[in-house]
Amino acid sequence: MKILIQNGYVLDPETKREGVLDVLVEDDKIVKVADKIEDAADRVIDASGCYVMPGFIDLHVHLRDPGLEYKETLETGGKAAARGGVTTVCAMPNTKPVTDNAEMITSIHERAKTECPVNVIQIGAITVGQLGEELADIEGMAKAGCHAISEDGKSVMNASLYRKAMKIAKENNISIFAHCEDITMVEGGVMHADEKAQALGLKGITNAVEDVIVARDILLAKETGVRLHLCHCSTEDSVKLVEAAKKEGLPVTAEVCPHHFVMTTDDITEDDGNFKMNPPLRGKCDVEALKAGLKADIMDVIATDHAPHSAEEKNCSMRRAAFGIVGLETMAALTYTELVEPGILTLMQMAEKTSYNPAKILGLDDKGAIAEGKVADIVVFDPTKEYAIDKNTFLSKGKNTPFHGRKVKGEVAYTLVSGNVVYER
Ligand code: DOR
Ligand code: ZN
Ligand code: ZN
């Protein structure tokens, strides 16, 4: 099977090559990228006026499968990913039961092959049941192909236990994906601690709740030499700490989620659970620092923390709502509209942070690029389309978003996974 993608503006973050080019896909691989390709093809995709980028690799997704299928499944999460241009998702282990063993990693990978239209990399938990007491079989999960371990949803508060986990991760050549939150400092907070929280009569979560664990985790990575990826950084001081770690040459990378670079607490108009996520929407200084950090390549990755929940769990006061919002179907448009259009990121940086850098962090050398011999995971993105985000169009089971009705520019036109069109608008 041959697919010819014609006339698109191609962005290859590996070689930094960009320009109007044709891309020829044969079976699961990219076989040619050139000015004008005349080869016969089974299918021609006209990408005129569109960007042709390596498929997005989302390091931070909650697929909720197994056990929480009322929120999302491998199938629905996969369809949402495909619609969002995301060709590989890293699935977090806070499933039911917790994904804390090799058998579950293997079983999810096997099921994903038939149930999910995009690639799934299942991340393993750090401790058994994410209870923070006993280390999971990290070596077994690494051998089963988890690529990284994470306690996402919480931090491993016992630094000694965590350090042991880091040493095992390092020995097995996998990364730590760190959720940074000192649970002893949360004190019932449900949103960022500022005047807005006071006005709404809600308890706050201060920046230090995140920052002290970011600092601790960097120091532990320095001591153990493990590759540390900091999830959903939301504060100004997180950016400063990551910058300092990089200056020291430590193997530390960091991600920012679209909601954290698009919204501040000023956007919280009422006590609505759809504005509740962990870490929370922060203040103006934080958002400016995150954007500057992305621009300066201190922050490496844009990931969604796609966290689907049911309407009952979200359409209520922030006091009672679950933490988390969906993100797979809005990531590309929010990134393009809020970062690329205003000139904060170049298109090439968008391709780096949504695909190439995540591929590098996962050690996927055949992904994250548009070049001969690479896997044909490709997104065709139409930057001209203007529309309002409509949660009722989401393919995800989760409709929990604070972006419903927000005007954006840019829409995914086609998504290819291993040379198969898994989504077309
Ligand atoms: O907002 C969040 N939701 N943050 C997390 O860390 C966990 C996630 C979830 O699983 O819903
Ligand atoms: Zn988290
Ligand atoms: Zn998460």
* Residue 268 domain flag: yes
Residue 385: its pLDDT value, please? Answer: 98
- Active site residues per annotation: 305
Question: Average pLDDT of 362-377?
Answer: 98
Q: How far is the CA of 114 from the centre of ligand 3 (A)?
A: 24
The answer to whether residues 35 and 175 belong to one domain is no
- Please indicate whether residue 234, judged by its CB atom, sits closer than 6 Å to ligand 1: no
Question: Average pLDDT of 133-158?
Answer: 98
Under the banding of pLDDT at 50, 70 and 90, the label for residue 236 is very high
* Residue 370 domain flag: no
The answer to whether residues 38 and 81 belong to one domain is no
The answer to whether residues 256 and 401 belong to one domain is no
Residue 246: its pLDDT value, please? Answer: 98
Question: Average pLDDT of 219-232?
Answer: 98
pLDDT above 90 as % of the chain: 100
Residue bearing the CA closest to ligand 1, atom 1 = 324
- Among the bound ligands, the one closest to the CA of 213: 2
The answer to whether residues 26 and 77 belong to one domain is no
- Best residue among 58, 59, 62 to mutate for probing ligand 1's pocket (most ligand atoms within 8 Å of CB) is 62
- Please indicate whether residue 314, judged by its CB atom, sits closer than 6 Å to ligand 1: no
Question: Average pLDDT of 207-226?
Answer: 98
The pTM of the full predicted model, rounded to 2 decimals, is 0.99
Under the banding of pLDDT at 50, 70 and 90, the label for residue 395 is very high
- Which residue range forms the structural domain that includes residue 410? 2-51+375-424
The answer to whether residues 61 and 209 belong to one domain is yes
Under the banding of pLDDT at 50, 70 and 90, the label for residue 64 is very high
The answer to whether residues 231 and 356 belong to one domain is yes
Question: Average pLDDT of 204-228?
Answer: 98
CATH classification of the domain holding 404: 2.30.40.10
The answer to whether residues 237 and 379 belong to one domain is no
Q: Which atom, in ligand 1's list, is nearest to the CA of 323?
A: 1
The answer to whether residues 68 and 201 belong to one domain is yes
Question: Average pLDDT of 237-266?
Answer: 98
Question: Average pLDDT of 174-196?
Answer: 98
Q: Which atom, in ligand 1's list, is nearest to the CA of 94?
A: 10
Residue 74: its pLDDT value, please? Answer: 99
Question: What backbone phi and psi angles, to 5 degrees, belong to 18?
Answer: -145, 150
- At 188-200, the pLDDT tens digits run 999 999 999 999 9
- At 23-54, the pLDDT tens digits run 999 999 999 999 999 999 999 999 999 999 99
Residue bearing the CA closest to ligand 1, atom 3 = 324
Q: Which atom, in ligand 1's list, is nearest to the CA of 309?
A: 11
Residue bearing the CA closest to ligand 1, atom 5 = 153
Indicate the residue among 310, 335, 362 that finishes a domain: 362
The answer to whether residues 164 and 280 belong to one domain is yes
The answer to whether residues 348 and 387 belong to one domain is no
Q: How far is the CA of 325 from the centre of ligand 2 (A)?
A: 11
Under the banding of pLDDT at 50, 70 and 90, the label for residue 85 is very high
- Please indicate whether residue 278, judged by its CB atom, sits closer than 6 Å to ligand 1: yes
Q: How far is the CA of 243 from the centre of ligand 2 (A)?
A: 21
Residue 194: its pLDDT value, please? Answer: 98
- Best residue among 65, 152, 259 to mutate for probing ligand 1's pocket (most ligand atoms within 8 Å of CB) is 152
Question: Average pLDDT of 281-299?
Answer: 99
- Please indicate whether residue 324, judged by its CB atom, sits closer than 6 Å to ligand 1: yes
The answer to whether residues 46 and 59 belong to one domain is no
* Residue 367 domain flag: no
* Residue 148 domain flag: yes
CATH classification of the domain holding 346: 3.20.20.140
Q: How far is the CA of 108 from the centre of ligand 3 (A)?
A: 18
Residue 382: its pLDDT value, please? Answer: 98
Residue 396: its pLDDT value, please? Answer: 99
Question: Average pLDDT of 305-318?
Answer: 98
* Residue 65 domain flag: yes
The answer to whether residues 275 and 235 belong to one domain is yes
- Among the bound ligands, the one closest to the CA of 398: 1
Indicate the residue among 317, 338, 362 that finishes a domain: 362
- At 92-142, the pLDDT tens digits run 999 999 999 999 999 999 999 999 999 999 999 999 999 999 999 999 999
pLDDT above 70 as % of the chain: 100
Question: Average pLDDT of 304-309?
Answer: 99
Indicate the residue among 321, 338, 362 that finishes a domain: 362
Q: Which atom, in ligand 1's list, is nearest to the CA of 92?
A: 10
* Residue 369 domain flag: no
* Residue 358 domain flag: yes
* Residue 150 domain flag: yes
Give the count of domains, the chain: 2
- Among the bound ligands, the one closest to the CA of 278: 1
- Please indicate whether residue 277, judged by its CB atom, sits closer than 6 Å to ligand 1: yes
- Please indicate whether residue 323, judged by its CB atom, sits closer than 6 Å to ligand 1: yes
Average pLDDT, the chain: 98
- Among the bound ligands, the one closest to the CA of 308: 1
Q: Which atom, in ligand 1's list, is nearest to the CA of 179?
A: 6
